[in-house]
Amino acid sequence: MRTAFIKTLCQAAATDERIWLLTGDLGFSVLEAFRERFPDRYVNVGVAEQNMTGVAAGLASCGKVVFTYSIANFPTLRCLEQIRNDVCYHALPVKVVSVGGGFAYGAQGYTHHGVEDLAVMRSLPDMTVVAPADPVETELATRMLIDTPGPCYLRLGKSREPVVHTERPDYAIGRAIRMREGKDATLISTGGMLQHTLGAAETLASKHGIQTRVLSMHTLKPLDAEAVRDAARQTRGVATVEEHSVTGGLGSAVADVIAGMDEPHAPLHMYGAPDRLDPRVGSQAYLRGLAGDLVGTVRDLLGGTSA
């Protein structure tokens, strides 16, 4: 995803002189392509993310479209006050890019686990929040966020995420992509969990006869509420899948929509990181696995059958 992001940003910057890139002394082996082509629009502010956000706000107030870039929690939680007051308060076109969302930096411990960022960023006023599933969605999202008014948050992985989309999807901010049809249950995935979600859907079909609809919900804000309501009306169970705390992220956003439905609807399960401080470290796969068995979760949600 990182490579797709910087390649797309360089292509856009070649024809749009408004685009700037700021980093908090991170992104080595990734951001050099932009720095070498556009040295006058690239700033390494050092390990000073609050200052990075303030500088970005100043540039944006002068008509620039500014991307800030750092690891996991650093461009979000560390400088939250500056994002809230300097950027959101003035509705400035600052695009915050977090690399390594979820457990991509799992071996470095809780300080580097990005498991609250979606909750925090979607709580900010007028903030567009996007978590693409693969390099294809990353490219499309990056292009669209350049022209999306106001502040935006782009959450990326870092672990050589595979291409999931075999062809370019019909992509739009705020509209889910239906990856698979199914009448029994719906899995709503965000970010890099899409491949895992599709794998679970295949297992449910081949081994248990459960036909599962799969949605790539790449935009958490604005959420595709109609796709959620359709899932809750048309299938017997809905599960959200995210590499994030079950509190405040995709699951909470979907729950808000379902809670507002007047008609009968399917039950909801939120699959993600448990809502507790977990000091464990390990690989991304190991930490993801602490959420439990997704196939078993869907079977339990439906009572174990497709009928």
- Point out the residues that are catalytic: 49
**SS3 track for 208-273:** HCCCEEEEECCEEECCCHHHHHHHHHHCCCEEEEEEEECCCCHHHHHHHHHHCCCCCCCCEEEEEE
Round to whole Å and give the CA distance between 126 and 112: 26
